[in-house]
Chains A and B, each alone.
Chain A
Amino acid sequence: MATQQSRSAARMMLAPAVVLLLAWMLVPLIMTLWFSFRKFLPLRGGDLGFAGFDNYTRFISSSAFWPSVQTTLIIVGGVLLITIVLGVILALLLDQPMWGQGVVRILVIAPFFVMPTVSALVWKNMFMDPVNGLFAHLWKFFGAEPIQWLSQESLTSIVMIVSWQWLPFATLILLTAVQSLDSEQLEAAEMDGAPYLKRFWYIVLPHLSRAITIVLLIQTIFLLSIFAEIFVTTGGAFGTKTLTYLIFQRVLESQNVGLGSAGGVYAIILANIVAIFLMRIVGKNLDT
């Protein structure tokens, strides 16, 4: 149906975006690859020559590497699980008739507007501080020993903070999907005497699958690179060092750009593994 002319016009229109993103991806990528094979130590005078695969072997054999991959996956997985489960529940709830629906919706999406640094600071100091935090006051009020959130429950705390930030996003997307649900089909099922859980499982959930996929994809992209939440709260201690954070430590704290770059390449590989995995499910669901 499309003419030859419109095809070439289309290509022209696509070109700027593709070229720009290609440059934005390739230039740093090539520089990262280059640095990863160099012994590049800014504090020792910069580029000290070819390093072969030294940086790669050193990065992967460091005791921090595998735990950091594991931490990354736990944080991404944990946040995804929480935001999607709570998001579905919230979306179903917000779709119900109620008074002041608009205001509630505003309250629920508000955390999305808060800068990650600010939200991490607020949670860390005003809620999770073991002496002056609100949680500590609450625990003491009920006569319990306050939890030392950021040291003893470090990963839980970070997953909590990040989930709080991303729950609004998941809720909104799922809400729009819930709103388009065919109510007649549901009513018919209700008439037939199908219990709520069954209706949810066989009608609601399949309908939401596409929206869930979108949430999964977009959030994973953002979650793989979370940084501020860890930098502000634990500084990578107590088992909260993600791969991104480990690279940050190598590049900026150890000032070993070569080693950090090799880490960057590993992170790209990990991201691609996750991406392929995601594309598999997403690609299937995105087919139209």
Chain B
Amino acid sequence: MLAGMATSASAQDTTLTIATVNNGDMIRMQGLTDDFTDKTGHKVEWVTLEENVLRQRVTTDISTKGGAFDIMTIGMYETPIWGANGWLVPLDDLSDDYNADDILPAMAGGLSHDGTLYAAPFYGESSMIMYRTDLMEKAGMEMPEAPSWSFIAKAARAMTDRENEINGICLRGKAGWGEGGAFITAMSNSFGARWFDEDWNAQFDSREWSDTLNFYKNMMDDAGPPGYATNGFNENLSLFQQGKCGMWIDATVAASFVTNPNDSEVADSVGFALAPDNGLGKRSNWLWAWALAIPAGTQNEDAAKEFIEWATSTSYIELVAEKEGWANVPPGARISLYENENYKDVPFAKMTLDSILSADPNNSTVDPSPYVGVQFAAIPEFAGIATDVSQEFSAAYAGQQTIEEALEKAQAITNDAMEAAGYR
């Protein structure tokens, strides 16, 4: 009843419907919506969904031109594809105050199609190593700033203490292209593997892929947590916060969660390092941004742009800093943040920026590849294929099939789907 009255009373004002993912930074933004409403008079309705549900929800809506949302939270994978289809409003006319040139080039590049920005980054991330300084010391080792995989594997085994439920290393193994699929793809880059050769042939029959998976599984079996084949970002985060992981290689945004004493039992003993490499010139870190985009055809385009300018601006960053401290501002989107004196004291700031700068979506593999993207290939078919493939990998991690079987199936699935899509 109340809700009904509220909507009818405010019918003449603009109300924006925004679909977003239930990550910490977005939930914080939700809490600060009043600031936007005070400044512009526009009201905001939030549709907060878990990542997988969000993705299916917004994709259905935009591909059918449903118009249920005025702003959608999407990532680096969707933006170029949707932008190319003409489904998104170009963001090339944002105000001067907004200073679009301040967006980190790596982010702007990944959120553009043909040089036009289609989504504004709310926060950006790469991946890096977060490790327990106390456990590393106990193991008698020292983490270099840019370690190799063989060092990581050695350290992981040395830090593992099964009696006390301490696992040397926690990594994603969960099926899903954005979960374990993203991790293993980024990791495979450092082993010299690639998804496709230049003629779009699947490459899972290569030595490099088999090395990647074998290395991963051996290390995780020895030093990973039980049931790692079902662990994604959230599961590992909570393990790390409970002090059950020696090392964790994952999204740079996690740094603020593991160093926050309210949530983390190990907040004061976390160190950071670049994601490992294998001496082949590519590291195993990814590049991602959660960004705000406006579906073409919305009635409230101007108000939606105002919102995007508000949410991804430097003044929003200052607003969060004022309320929650600099460590909790949305990272990885703007150059000026990393030039800010206040932010320099944040322990993970430099490593985050270095990680972001070391990932190159246009040149992510050792051997040449035809696709853009580090932990994904920015083609419409990828999400479906990679989900199937990562399910096969997860089954291999859990010991339900051998790595050879998983790779064979992955090869067949990928080639079949690419054939269906007309690439081969």
Contacts and interface: CB of A to CB of B under 8 A. Distances in A.
**A and B, direct touch (CB closer than 8 Å):** yes
For chain A, what secondary structure do more than half of its interface residues adopt (helix, strand, loop), or is it mixed? loop
A66 to B, nearest CB: 14
A168 to B, nearest CB: 27
- Interface size on A, as a range, is 35 or more
A235 interface: yes
A111 interface: no
Given A236-B175, A254-B417, A64 B388 contact: yes
Given A42-B64, A253-B383, A234 B417 contact: no
Interface stretch (A98-106, A144-152, A184-192, A215-223): A144-152
B249 to A, nearest CB: 19
Contact of B230 (A146, A148, A241): A148
Contact of A249 (B60, B64, B388, B398): B388
Given A63-B409, A130-B227, A255-B63, A152 B398 contact: yes
Interface in B188-245: 225-227, 229-230, 235, 238-239, 242, 244
B174 interface: yes
Interface string B80-92: 0100010000000
Interface string A123-167: 000000111100000000000001011111000000000000000
B8 interface: no
A259 B421 CA distance: 11
B176 interface: yes
B227 A150 contact: yes
For chain B, what secondary structure do more than half of its interface residues adopt (helix, strand, loop), or is it mixed? helix
B266 to A, nearest CB: 16
A252 B60 contact: yes
B59 interface: yes
B399 interface: yes
Looking at A43, A129, A238, A259, the one whose CB has the most chain B CB atoms below 10 A away is A43
Contacts of A131: 165, 225-227, 239, 244
B398 A148 contact: yes
A151 B380 contact: no
Interface of B: 52, 56, 59-60, 63-64, 81, 85, 165, 174-176, 225-227, 229-230, 235, 238-239, 242, 244, 380-381, 383-385, 387-388, 390-391, 394-395, 397-400, 409, 412-413, 416-417, 420-421
Given A41-B421, A130-B225, A238-B395, 11 more contacts: A42-B59, A63-B412, A131-B227, A151-B397, A152-B399, A235-B175, A235-B176, A236-B387, A237-B391, A249-B388, A252-B60
